[in-house]
Amino acid sequence: MDYNSINFHEFVSAKLAENGFRIAHITKELMDERADDFMNFVNGIRREYSGAYGWSEESKEYFLNPLKDKFKFSFTILNEKDEICFVNFSSVYDKIIHNHCTYARKDTRSFNFAKLHIIKLCQAGIEAGFTHQEGFWPKTNNGSIILFMRMGWQIDSIRNNKELFMIADLNKVRNQTYDLVIAGK
Provide the whole-model pTM.
0.94
Neighbour count for residue 58 (Cβ, 10 Å)? 16
Phi and psi at 76, nearest 5°, equal -135, 150
Where would I find the beta strands (DSSP E) of 64-122? 75-78, 84-93, 96-104
Beta bridge partners of 89: 101
Q: What is the pLDDT of residues 10-36, one digit of tens each?
A: 999 999 999 999 999 999 999 999 999
Q: What is the pLDDT of residues 152-177, one digit of tens each?
A: 999 999 999 989 999 999 999 999 99
Report which DSSP code applies to 112: S
